[in-house]
Each structure stands twice: as C-alpha cells, then as structure tokens.
C-alpha cells in the first residue's frame, strides 16, 4: 500500500517518475490515469471527467510499479499494448492498473493479449526487465 504515491512509479521520457510528483490536470488527485504509447484518449463521461485526473506525461511502456516499504521488492503490472495506467489512493482501494488496448473487436471475434502482475525482488529496473520478458 502506498497512500501518498511516493513509492508508485511509471516511466516517461525514459525515466522513472513518482506518481506523487507527476504533473496532472484536474483538482482531485485521489484518482489518476496516464495514457500509454501515444494512444488516443478513451471516450469519457462527465462522471469520469470529474473523477479521474490525467498525468501530463504519458507512460513509455504501459507498466506501473510500487516499491515495498523496505525497498527490497517491487510489485509491477504491465500489458502488451497497454492503453493507460490507473491508480487511486482512496483508503479502501490503493490499487494500480495497467489496462490493455484491444482495439475494435467485431461481434463474434476474439482478441488475445499478454500481461502480468509480478512481485519481483530487487529494484525498479529488475521489475521492469522481468515484466518486459513476459509481454
């Protein structure tokens, strides 16, 4: 759990960015999203616009991770062709997400993708490398 996002990271511009220090648009920093891979914005309802803020810097790779309190382990999640990242610091949830982009799926068709949620001993670099091997 990382209630102030000081141990929650994503990569932008080739560098790790703390979610607590990411510039964002909006006034409610409890719920935050980051677009990934330059994909277009999702269609948003008024409720969604009022609830979710977006970071100004997109994610390089659609991965998000949280470093343990003792800095010895990283929880990382990533999908092939991720569309966006999400995190909230509401006391009852404290979640992170990497959400896949599946494109347009015609009726009766199916789409397969790969993703992971890993608990990796080591550093952010170790966690990103292990997630990259899967996706």
pTM given for the model: 0.90
- Residues 26 and 60: their CA atoms lie apart, in Å, by 22
- Residues 130 and 72: their CA atoms lie apart, in Å, by 15
83 φψ region: left (φ > 0), alpha (ψ -120 to 50), beta (else): alpha
> Partners of 100 in the beta sheet?
82
For residue range 21-36, list pLDDT tens digits in order.
998 876 667 889 898 8
3-state DSSP assignment of residue 134: helix
Secondary structure of 49-105 as H, E, C letters? HHHCEEECCCECCCEEEEECCCCCEEEEEEECCEEEEEEECCCCCCCEEEEECCCCC
For residue range 51-106, list pLDDT tens digits in order.
888 888 999 999 999 999 999 999 999 999 899 999 998 888 889 999 998 988 99
Q: What is the dihedral of CA 17, 51, 78, 36, to 10 degrees?
A: -70
3-state DSSP assignment of residue 13: coil
- Residues 40 and 42: their CA atoms lie apart, in Å, by 6
């Amino acid at each position: 759990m990382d209630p102030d996002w000081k141990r929650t990271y994503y990569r932008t511009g080739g560098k790790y960015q703390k979610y607590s220090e990411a510039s964002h648009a909006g006034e409610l920093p409890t719920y935050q999203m980051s677009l990934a891979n330059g994909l277009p914005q999702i269609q948003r309802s008024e409720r969604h616009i009022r609830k979710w803020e977006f970071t100004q810097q997109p994610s390089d790779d659609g991965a998000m991770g949280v470093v343990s309190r003792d800095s010895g382990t990283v929880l990382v999640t990533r999908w092939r062709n991720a569309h966006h990242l999400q995190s909230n610091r509401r006391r009852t949830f404290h979640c992170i997400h990497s959400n896949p982009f599946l494109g347009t799926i015609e009726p009766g068709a199916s789409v397969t993708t790969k993703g992971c949620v890993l608990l990796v001993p080591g550093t952010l670099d170790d966690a990103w490398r292990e997630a990259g091997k899967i996706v």
